[in-house]
């Protein structure tokens, strides 16, 4: 049986990735890898990752503050605080912060497969490598995720 986990406001594994900061608050070790949870803070007027799809996990986003802009396939949604977006496996998606204030979201992964993606990107940045779109796609592929080329920006 796993030990319980309580992560305070300053706790977790903080990963800075350019205009985004991800704070891993449950890496799956308490949940038997059934669930991972992160808090994502995105700087104002910042794009998110390339549109992508996960093959083996659901992803959820709960907007805490700011306004998220989700693009799911060809549809775009502006999401104010209190909005929950659930993305099933196979759905192409991305997010951005179009606003003038930081965007804060709680991000869930079921199972926790994608938590390590953020840690891998941190290693690239620490090694002095800027995560190019090609490098980002390569790291995504380790976690049953691919860039959704059919929805790439034109």
Residue 14 CA to residue 17 CA, distance in Å, equals 10
CATH classification of the domain holding 52: 2.60.120.10
Q: What is the pLDDT of residues 130-144, one digit of tens each?
A: 778 888 899 999 999
Whether residue 49 lies inside any domain: the answer is yes
pLDDT digits (tens, 9 = 90+) for 64-107: 999 999 999 999 999 999 999 999 999 999 999 999 999 999 99
Residue 4 lies in a domain: no
Q: Residues 97-109: pLDDT tens digits?
A: 999 999 999 999 9
Angle at 74 between CA 68 and CA 108, to 5 degrees: 45
Q: Is residue 105 part of a domain?
A: yes
Q: Residue 20 falls within a domain, yes or no?
A: yes
Domain that holds residue 42: 13-148
**Angle, CA of 27, 134 and 147, to the nearest 5°:** 65
Looking at the domain assignment, is residue 6 inside a domain?
no
Q: What is the pLDDT of residues 8-19, one digit of tens each?
A: 998 999 999 989
Is 153 part of a structural domain of the chain? Answer: no
Examine residue 50 and state whether it is found in any structural domain, yes or no.
yes
* Tally of domains within the chain: 1
Whether 11 and 98 have beta carbons less than 8 Å apart is answered as no
């Amino acid at each position: 049986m796993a030990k319980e986990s309580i992560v305070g406001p300053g706790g977790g594994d903080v990963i800075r990735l350019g205009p985004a900061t991800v704070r891993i608050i449950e890496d799956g070790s308490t949940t038997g890898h059934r669930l991972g949870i992160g808090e994502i803070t995105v700087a104002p007027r910042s794009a998110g990752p390339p549109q992508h799809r996960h093959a083996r996990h659901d992803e959820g986003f709960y907007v805490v503050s700011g306004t998220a802009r989700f693009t799911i396939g060809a549809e775009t949604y502006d999401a104010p605080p209190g909005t929950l977006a659930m993305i099933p496996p196979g759905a192409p998606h991305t997010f951005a912060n179009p606003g003038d204030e930081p965007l804060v979201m709680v991000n869930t992964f079921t199972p926790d497969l994608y938590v390590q993606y953020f840690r891998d990107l941190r290693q690239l940045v620490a090694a002095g490598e800027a995560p190019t779109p090609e490098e980002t796609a390569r790291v995504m592929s380790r976690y049953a995720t691919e860039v959704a080329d059919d929805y790439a920006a034109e």
